[in-house]
Chain A
Amino acid sequence: MLQIIRTEWLKVRSYRTFWVLLLLAVLSIPAANFIVAEITETIREQAQNKIPVNLYDFPIIWQSVSWINSFMTAVFGFPLLILVTNEFTYKTHRQNIIDGWERRDFVLAKLYWWLAFGVLALLTTMLTGTLLGLAYALHPFSFEDSRFLFYYFLQVEVSMGIALLIAVLVRRAGLAIVLYLAYIMLVDQLLVLIVKRKVGEIGGLLPMQAADELIPFPIIDKFIPDTNRYDDSVYLIMLLVYIALMIFLVFRRMLKTDY
């Protein structure tokens, strides 16, 4: 395992494009949340506290940052897409096997990145929440309701799982990025709308939507609870099923195909 991680580190340590993409993904979290925090603060001040809610107060802050982040989960897919499709473009996926990796090692190498980016997104979100909370919260620090962070983490992992699967299936960087964006931004949302209208709540179980259902818009969900939705555990199980399915499909593809 350490040998695989060390090798992956050697591949990227001086790769500028990768670091820029990763930095943008990480910075998008504090940047977006800071903007929203400033806007809501301004609205509150202008309304002279007639709206008694603060999105960046503890403990609701964990739901707020997760909800804001859920619009940007796709960003962590880009560095992963680049890392994987580069291997195909340069045919280094072949060379890695020729030089003595098992095919399984090659998939594990990419899964380590998949996990690492998810953890990075989670830690960045925790840090952002903590700092914005210290700046804007009226109540003391609390980890209550921090389960939303975990839901967000799962959504990032599902979104990167889709990126990984597309990357190993289509192999070309440009096409993979277009398909990934199209799925995350259009196809998933359209399918959710159509299935929910024609069939029912089962539309909420689609990959990107399942986590969205777990991270509803803060405050509003308390006033207008959605009575039709399944229990949280159903969405949670679906997310885990999607992750397992994607890992299985990626392994299957990479273990059996010609390189």
Chain B
Amino acid sequence: MSILSLHSISKRYGAIQALSGVSFEVPRGAVFGILGPNGSGKTTLLGIVTDVLKADEGTYRLFDEAPTAAQRRQIGTLLETPNFYHYLSAYRNLQVAASIKQRPEQDISRVLEIAGLTARQHSRFKTYSLGMKQRLAIASALLGDPEVLILDEPTNGLDPAGIAEVRQLILELARSGKTIILASHLLDEVEKVCSHVAILQKGKLLLSGSVAEVLVREDYVELSCSNNAALEKLIAGHPAFAHILQRHEHLQVVFSQPVDLAALNAWCADQGIWLSHLHIRKQSLEKAFLQITNN
């Protein structure tokens, strides 16, 4: 069963086509990343799914059924910014949320504890720092321990420790079998926590699938010697040679199959070239992403 399925969703704001014909499915139990640069349509897409925005075209289904408010109550959602009553305390804000979600108020202290806000639960929301507001929004999404979570840029405004905590929390929730839809412009965030990913750019879906399939990254070997020109000529004759990525201080060489660095070193030495630098590296995620979005 898919938790969410989108069919040709389009949305336009005046002259701007925010989404055009986006379709994909989120399987149960997935940590599904929606990845894309700022303004790519991630929040618009999630806004449509949560009924705060109306799609111009297309349909979506939740839990394989036509969407209803009752289904939204089964989903913990943090969309764009933490939205709370400024004059109410964190606790009272969560009382409002629990009342709408029809969840027991006894759960409030549990989610406040997870978010690390127990000590400040009776302070008014307007006295909170940006990071605390974000934590409260996460706490609110966790109310009632929903099976599905929609988290739009959940680490926004958090300090490095907070970011690590939230990522850990997402991983733990995923391990407990929950389905998580995570929108982010942070590549490493998606790679670290997601099992599946959909990549959006300018409102169009570029790719979707498992992270391992979509975010493929080439390994390359970095090497240099006293005469890189000679080395380049030599390495082109290596049986596994594929292509050269860059020629700067070091040559960056991609091989068609994994090579053993010791063997490669010996192979070069046998041909009379003594390497001064030899290192295996992974292509950066940013580069892999740019390759996808540029094509």
Contact = CB atoms under 8 A, between A and B. Distances in A.
Interface in B226-279: none
A10 interface: yes
Given A6-B99, A92-B84, A99-B101, A258 B54 contact: yes
B164 to A, nearest CB: 26
Nearest to A7: B99
B83 A92 contact: yes
Q: Per DSSP, are chain A's interface residues mostly helix, strand or loop, or mixed? A: helix
B91 to A, nearest CB: 11
A10 B83 contact: no
Interface stretch (B21-29, B68-76, B111-119, B211-219): B68-76
A46 to B, nearest CB: 50
A256 interface: yes
Contact of B52 (A3, A256, A259): A259
Contacts of B47: 258-259
Interface stretch (A36-44, A101-109, A142-150, A221-229): A101-109
B85 A100 contact: no
Interface in A108-147: none
A105 to B, nearest CB: 7
A95 B97 contact: yes
A11 interface: yes
Contacts of B51: 97-98, 103
Interface hub of B73, B84, B99, B102 (most chain A Cβ within 10 A) = B99
A54 interface: no
B15 interface: no
Contact of B87 (A6, A15, A98): A15
Contacts of B87: 14-17
B83 to A, nearest CB: 4
Interface residues of A, number: 28
Contacts, number: 78
A259 B53 contact: yes
B11 to A, nearest CB: 9
Given A14-B92, A258-B53, A259-B53, A100 B84 contact: no
A94 interface: yes
B88 A7 contact: no
Contacts of B54: 256-258
B53 A11 contact: no
Contact of B79 (A11, A14, A94): A94
A98 B77 contact: yes
B50 A98 contact: yes
Contact of A94 (B52, B96, B140): B52
B81 A7 contact: no
Contacts of A105: 69
Contacts of B72: 97-100
Nearest to A15: B87
Nearest to B88: A14
A10 B70 contact: no
B179 interface: no
B100 interface: yes
B86 interface: yes
B88 A11 contact: yes
30 contacts: A3-B102, A7-B96, A10-B92, A10-B96, A11-B88, A14-B92, A15-B85, A15-B88, A17-B87, A90-B83, A90-B84, A90-B86, A92-B83, A92-B85, A94-B79, A97-B51, A97-B69, A98-B77, A98-B79, A99-B73, A99-B100, A99-B101, A99-B140, A100-B69, A100-B70, A100-B73, A101-B69, A105-B69, A259-B52, A259-B53
Interface of A: 3, 6-7, 10-11, 14-17, 86, 90-92, 94-103, 105, 256-259
Which 10 A-B pairs give the minimum distances between C-beta atoms?
A100-B73, A95-B83, A259-B52, A91-B83, A99-B100, A7-B99, A102-B69, A100-B72, A98-B50, A94-B52
Given A96-B100, A100-B100, 14 more contacts: A10-B92, A10-B96, A10-B99, A90-B84, A92-B83, A92-B85, A94-B79, A95-B79, A97-B52, A98-B51, A98-B52, A99-B140, A100-B70, A258-B52
